[in-house]
Structure 1
Amino acid sequence: MASNIQASEAGDISIALMSTKILEIIFDYALNKFDDCQDRLEAGRPKFISVLSNFVRRNARIDMSLPAFPFKSANKVYKAFSFLPDKAEEIALERLHNMCRRIEEIYSPGAQLVIVSDGLVYNDLLSISDRHTWLYGQALREMATEKGFTNIAFSRLRDFVSFNLPESLDEIHYVANATNFRRFILNKFGKDDLDVDQLIAADEDTRLTYQGYRRFLMSDLRYIFTLGGSRTSNSYKRETKYLAKQMIVRGYAFAGAIKHNFPNHLRLSIHQSTGEHKVSMSLLNTKTGFTTPWHCSVALMADGEWVSAPMGDFKENPRMKIITENGRPSYFREMTEEEFQEEERMIAAQLTQLTEKSVEESKKHERNENFFQWEDVTYDVQNGEKTKRLLDHVDGWLRGGTLTALTVCVFFLFFH
């Protein structure tokens, strides 16, 4: 009896140790942009160890869920290249894939992370079309397949609904049912009498998420809901606050849907949180505060380091060069000093050529300013009953007065 107890205790210790090792790997990829990040992670350690232990005890694959990768920022003027994923998303997916691979190195059943796209939950609030949301999600899936990110899986709202849909969802059926998906989630997992203000005030995780929404909405929508007329800076702030609260309402329902559909998964998040219920992740491990790839661009520096920032910030740097992939702008690359100097020389040479061409064109204009062009000219002269065609469908250039003199000469030749 005693030996059985000892064996059980030894087994529990082994499970706890392995779960701790796995959690430490996950923490290596956690959000680290705030002074108290480590304290927040420690606050959730007991719960996270418990969730992981349930997998380890069964020698089962570690399953994690992450609501993320909704759509590219609505601000295509300053923040993002287009509505499709680019190098920023690739780097983020690779980072999550590598996290799972590291877990597999110490725990043979491995790990899988399910990205639950929350695009359709919020896209209409941010003036993003259902079609662009679909295309972004499809391009992400193609990217993960092409790059071999086999530890990444994807889920979307259609996986949560219980009405009839084609087995293989395509663009048309997705767009046609987008409103139905949103309505289903809100009706089943939402709360009609949800007091948003009270929830923000009472729940720290909700408050942090709400503040994050407000920050990115201010920059995301500035070129859509532009200032002017009745919209002042203060009214714009009030409007984005309202939109942020609407996102909280929908996020409440979406969180319920995730909990219902992935009840045993380790819950990850892109938002700053208390750390008690979910692990806050950093998808882009750069020195800046831009950690979500759909809100920024990335640049490869001359020293090999990747950095993240709004697209417009990089464009203002003359040493940054846009690199295209698959025919689309994908990221920036910092030129070396030699490349930059060569670029400067090429620009100077082009300016010199343009200047010389402009001067030559100016001189040509001066030489030709007293000339005029005539095309398909026919000129008949009649003297009594006699008619002579002096010019018969003639094109050419003549100095002013020459045509008149020529016509007079020809007239005298014919009639005298």
Structure 2
Amino acid sequence: MASSTINCGFSPFHHTLGLFCRSRDGRLLNVEGKEADVVAYHWPAIFKRLKLSNTTFTPLSLGLRVETTIFDTVADLPGPSSSQSYNKLCVREVYRDTSKCYVGHLGYWSQDKCDEAFVEWIETMFILKTTIQPQQNQRVSIFTPHRIWDFTVERWAKIWFLFDTTLRTLLGVEPKPSISCYREVVTEKITVLFEQMLRNTAVSDEWNSSGRNYFSCRVRDFVNRNEPCNMVLPAFPCKSPSDAKVGGSRPDMAERIALETLHDFIESIKKIYKPGATILIIHDGHLLSSCIGVDDDVVSEYESDIQDLYRSMFAFSTDRQAIRFCGINDLFFSEPNSMQSFDNSWILDPELVHDPIQIKVSETAELSRKLVMASCGINRQHLRKLILAQDPATLKSYRGLSRFMLQDLEGSVFAGQSTSRKKKTACIIAAEMMARNQAYSNLLELLFPNYIRLSVHAHNNRGPKFGIRLFPRHRVRVIDDIDCRHECVSMYDFQTPTPWHSSIVKVKGDEIIYLMKASVARQAIASGRYTGGWVDDVDKGGYYLLQEADPVVPAKDDMGKVDTLGVFDVNDSCRSNKLTT
């Protein structure tokens, strides 16, 4: 079976063609979404039908109103991923006085939809919360891989001639640097900083072939408006429930270093671009809490602790602006207009969220999980079919997550279960996590369509997501063996463990610090080869501090020969550990 995608379903996201900005007279100012290039191509026909059709008006608070127009679809528009047929389009719009334009949602509409009230509510939420803005240039540039290359070549051709000193000399002129030239230079410098400071290389990396151009186009969009380059990163959910991986349930030195890494990147951008940049960290712990066996209140405490940690790291509020935080609860409940007409009966379907592990549930968090799945969830039956058909990409993710969760939940969650039961539960959890993660990604695509999307997971880096490293290579080395700590582990070249699944370990005498499972440090101490333990550093966060124990002095037997049985061979230990891992 050819490789397919799990992102198929019947949710409002899957009926969405795009989000757009337009002027009062109908000029398309920007469009984002999976069918953005198609919408741009058909926009004249779409707007013509929009003008000729009847519009209904729904008043909101603060003087806003939603304008809804339903009309016949335009020929050649691609249908939704579901097998159902849709012959109507629906446009919902709100006029934004701040940007002097309409912001709208374009999607398919059908009288057969079972929850039309919910669809209206969630699509209204999309246009109220989305960050899409008009582009500065009049021509709408669509961020799709096959069009970015031509766009970028055109831009760089202009730069080449602007900087050609030989041509300037021949013409006898020295023109002042243009604004467009300055913007191109800044865009390139920010892209280079990302390459050097954050980007993580993937096994099948497409950064050089297409991803770099995509990234630069996103940066340029902010630079053209002289605004901060906004990035979004789903991360910092909560500490792993596995004692074998972490030293505790609260943020420690690992989280601190990760925040420093992100902050240093933003500060480097500020040195070359005055508006700077920001990274919006969206906590995703509540999304997955019932998959990883962590109570909702524990997740909330971790989120609060992370934000407190970041504030404590910098004395001045201006230094704290590099990173902002929010959770999935904030995505839905921070907009008064969104919750004004919400009805809980819309999300009573028990199939919305499958909870593989029983936890202490927060009512607000559970509501958020259901809203994510109701608004952007995939078809689980389609996912199961792909797994059973052994679709290569789907099966790889499914098996990888199953193995990971089998290790992560080995402690209290899996206590007393048989091996077969553990494997079955891990597989159920993996499928549910894949469904939730994809739905969450879909939601962020709609709410932050113009933001640069970062991820702690490995990606091919062609866009729209880019994998990053939270630990600088020159400062932190990822290892799985203390005795062989001076050797790099190739498996971590493409996927660095996260702070919430690992622990920081310092070894006296070593300049570099290490990232590993907590159990590795504990085993090293228990073996007697190292002394030390957990250091609960209030200021810089907890970590393991180890020191090599004094070497064992070999004893002589009665004949004066050296007894070598008590001598510890580091090299033999390394080889032995490698064989057993």
- Return the TM-score normalized by structure 1: 0.69
Kindly provide the CA deviation profile for residues 164-185 of structure 1, in whole angstroms up to 9, marking residues without a partner as x.
7xxxxxxxxx933111111111
Counterpart pick for 2:461 among 258, 275, 291: 275
Q: 1:16 aligns with which of 184, 187, 190?
A: 184
Q: Matched residue of 2:477: which SS?
A: coil
Q: Which residue of 1 aligns with 2:231?
A: 64
Task: State the alpha-carbon separation in 2 of the partners of residues 185 and 259 from structure 1.
Answer: 12
Equivalent residues in 2 for 1:234-313, closer than 5 Å: 234-277=420-463, 278-285=465-472, 286-288=476-478, 289=492, 290-301=496-507, 302-313=509-520
Residue of structure 2 equivalent to 1:333: 545
Judge conservation of contact 1:113–1:152 (CA < 8 Å) in 2: yes
* 1:120 maps to amino acid: H
Match status 1:28 vs 2:196: yes
Paired amino acid for 1:155:
C
Partner of 1:87: 253
1:156 maps to 2:362: no
Partner deviation per Cα, 1:137-159 (whole Å, 9 max, x = no partner): 00000000000261111011122
Q: Deviations over 1:235-273 (max 9, x none)?
A: 433431221110111112211221222121100001111
The correspondence for 2:266, drawn from 100, 104, 115, is: 100
For residues 379 and 225 of structure 2, the distance between their equivalents in structure 1, rounded to whole angstroms, comes to 40
| Alpha-carbon displacement from aligned partner over 1:217-250 (angstroms, at most 9, x marks no partner) | 1211112343766x32x44334312211101111
Is the contact made by 2:380 and 2:435 (CA closer than 8 Å) also made in structure 1? Answer: no
Q: Any residues of structure 2 matched to 1:376-391 within 5 Å, and which?
A: none
Specify whether residues 11 and 142 from structure 1 end up closer, same or farther in structure 2 by C-alpha distance, changes over 3 A only.
same
Per-residue CA distance 1:361-386 (angstroms, 9 max, x = gap): xxxxxxxxxxxxxxxxxxxxxxxxxx
**Amino acid across the alignment from 2:406:** M
Contact 1:71 1:83 in 2 (8 A): yes
Contact 2:204 2:460 (C-alpha < 8 Å) held by counterparts = no
Matched, 1:224 2:412: yes
**Would the alpha carbon gap of residues 196 and 293 (structure 1) be closer, same or farther in structure 2, given more than 3 Å must change?**
same
User: After the TM superposition, which parts of structure 1 deviate over 6 Å for at least 4 consecutive aligned residues?
Assistant: 5-9, 199-203
Residues 200, 458 of structure 2: 8 Å contact kept: no
SS in 2 for 1:28: helix
Is the Cα–Cα contact under 8 Å of residues 227 and 236 in structure 1 kept in the other structure? no
Tell me if 1:179 matches 2:389. Answer: no
Structure 2: gaps of 5 or more residues: 1-156, 163-177, 333-337, 341-360, 479-491, 525-529, 553-581
CA distance in structure 1 between the partners assigned to 2:477 and 2:521 by the alignment: 15
Letter in 1 for 2:401: Y
- Match runs of 1:297-376 below 5 Å: 297-301=503-507, 302-317=509-524, 318-326=530-538, 330-335=542-547, 340-341=549-550
Paired with 1:251 and 1:308, the residues of 2 have a C-alpha distance of 26
| Matches of 2:399 and 2:532, distance apart in 1 | 32
CA distance in 1, matches of 2:400, 2:455: 12
Deviation at 1:306, TM superposition (A): 1.6
Query: Structure 1 28/93 Cα, relative in aligned 2: closer, same or farther at 3 Å?
Result: same
Q: 1:308 to 1:160 in 2, by over 3 A?
A: same
Supply the distance in 2 between the matched residues of 1:211 and 1:314 (Cα, whole angstroms): 28
Superposed displacement of residue 120, structure 1: 0.7
- 2:401 aligned to which of 186, 190, 213: 213
How many residues of Structure 1 are paired with residues of Structure 2 in the alignment?
323
Distance change >3 Å, CA 212–CA 23, structure 1 → 2: farther
Q: Is 2:240 the partner of 1:73?
A: yes
**Structure 1: which 5+ residue stretches go unaligned?**
165-173, 345-416
- Work out the CA distance in 2 between the residues paired with 1:108 and 1:132: 39
Q: Which of 253-262 and 7-16 deviates more?
A: 7-16
- Once the two structures are superposed, what CA deviation does each residue of 1:81-130 show, in whole Å capped at 9, x if it has no partner? 22211111011111111111111111111111011111111111111100
What is the distance in 2 between the residues matched to 1:34 and 1:249?
Answer: 23
Give 1:191's aligned amino acid: I
Alpha-carbon offset, residue 74 of structure 1: 1.4
Q: 1:154 to 1:212 in 2, by over 3 A?
A: farther
- The root-mean-square deviation of aligned C-alpha atoms, in Å, is 3.2
Structure number with higher helix proportion: 1
Shift in CA distance, 296/33, structure 1 to aligned 2, threshold 3 Å: farther
Q: Which moved more, 1:118-127 or 1:286-295?
A: 286-295
Match of 1:352 in 2: none
Work out which of the residue numbers 209, 212, 230 in structure 2 matches 1:45: 212
| SS of 2:544 mapped into structure 1 | strand
What is the rounded CA distance, in whole Å, between the counterparts of 1:13 and 1:62 in structure 2? 18
CA distance in 1, matches of 2:186, 2:422: 50
1:375 maps to which residue? none
TM-aligned CA distance change 1:176 to 1:14, over 3 Å = same
TM-score (norm 2): 0.51
2:296 aligned residue (130, 140, 150): 130
Quick one: distance in 1 between partners of 2:281 and 2:455?
10
Q: 1:199 to 1:255 in 2, by over 3 A?
A: farther
For residue 32 of structure 1, report the CA deviation from its aligned partner.
4.1
Gap change, CA 1:54 and 1:329, over 3 Å in 2 = closer
Letter in 2 for 1:49: S
CA contact (8 A) 1:64 1:113 kept: yes
